[in-house]
Amino acid sequence: MSLLEVEDLAIHFGGVKAVDGVSFAVEAGEVFSIIGPNGAGKSTIFNLISRLYKPTRGKIMFDGRDITPLQAHEIAPLGLARTFQNIELFDHSTVLDNLLMGRHTHRSTNWVQDMLFVPAVRRAERAHRRKVEDVIEFLELEAYRDKLIAGLPYGVRKVVEIGRALAVGPKLILLDEPASGLSVEESQEVAYWIEDMRRDMGLTVLMVEHDMSLVTQVSDRVLAVANGQPLAQGSPAEVQSDPRVMAAYLGTEVYT
């Protein structure tokens, strides 16, 4: 059984068929990438999986469970975390607090205990902090720990987004264009992190990315979409050389 199974997924915004009949399955432990031109519907697929959007049609199975009827906040506790293409951090909080917010699904105390700050709250805070420090060490964010997000450079914010998703302690992590806007060196670092996530943390990665060298380097399998529809699926090399994919990117007709 696959970790994530998407069956005939579709969402229509009025007349716009943003996603229209996409199916794929992500196996546990693999890195799966979705590619496609701008406006192809890649981010919309992510929003459907994280239940921010309600699909018009189709079904999403995660870890053997149908998550289509769930609400957005019920997804993370199952072990599914994500990043956002347009960076959705908590701007007025520090990096540390942003990462601690990622621990929300693991909270063990209620608001009454929190307000009285009973010893259990302190114990839980220490435990969350240790987890978050692991993430900080992994992503080398030590220098920014106490900085406010609002003053951070773009590249660092992208890394904090990945960190916050890792702090959730997920089985599956969705990365929406983790390398967009980053320098060559920075995207190389992202590539190493993705490999480490899979190898050392046992994570499954579903990624949307335009940077083909990153996709080829880390992905086991690739799905190409255009105009909300699937074009091709397979190894990075297969998909890249598929004539329909080339046509979608270059905007030419397919000659057969």
Partner 1 sequence: MKVIFKTSYDNDIDLHEDGWARGRIALLVVVMAALPFLVGEYYLAEAANTLIWSLAGMGLMVLVGHTGQASLGHAAFLAIGAYTDVALMNIGVPWIISFPLAGLATGLFGALVAIPAVRMSGIYLAIATLALFVIVEEMVILLEPITGGVGGLMAPSIEIFGVNFDRYTNLNNFYWLCLAVVVAVTWLYANLLRSPTGRSFLAVRDSEVSARALGINITRTRALAFGLSCGMTGLAGSLLGHYIAYFNYELFSVFISINLLLVVTIGGLGFIQGAFMGAILITAVPQLIAILRGTVNDLTGIDLSVLPGLDTLIFSAILIGFIIYEPAGLWGRWLKTRVWFQLFPLARRDMFRRQKSYLKTERQR
Ligand X SMILES: Nc1ncnc2c1ncn2[C@@H]1O[C@H](COP(=O)(O)OP(=O)(O)OP(=O)(O)O)[C@@H](O)[C@H]1O
Number of continuous H segments (helices) and E segments (strands) in the chain: 9, 10
Phi, psi of 201 (to 5 degrees): -100, -5
Residue 16 burial (CB count, 10 A): 14
Asked if 42 is part of the footprint of ligand X (rule: CB under 6 A), the reply reads yes
Shortest distance (Å) from residue 23 CB to ligand X: 17
Is 49 or 245 the residue whose CB approaches partner 1 more closely?
49
Q: Which of 39, 77, 181, 202 binds ligand X (CB under 6 A)?
A: 39
**Which residues, in sequence order, are CB contacts of 169 under 8 Å at separation 6+?**
79, 103, 105, 106, 131
Q: Is residue 67 a contact partner of residue 96, using CB atoms and an 8 Å limit?
A: no
Residue 106 burial (CB count, 10 A): 14
Stretch that binds partner 1, among 121-129, 198-206, 217-225, 244-252 (CB under 8 A): 121-129
Please count the residues of this chain forming the interface with ligand X, following the rule CB under 6 A: 12
Q: Which tokens is 68 given?
A: 């289509």
Shortest distance (Å) from residue 39 CB to Mg ion: 8
Contacts with partner 1, 194-233, as mask; x by CB under 8 A: ----------------------------------------
Tracing tokens 């435990």 back to the chain, one arrives at 127
Is 36 or 102 the residue whose CB approaches ligand X more closely?
36
Site for ligand X, residues 59 to 98, rule: CB under 6 A: 85
* Interaction site with Mg ion (CB under 5 A): 43, 85
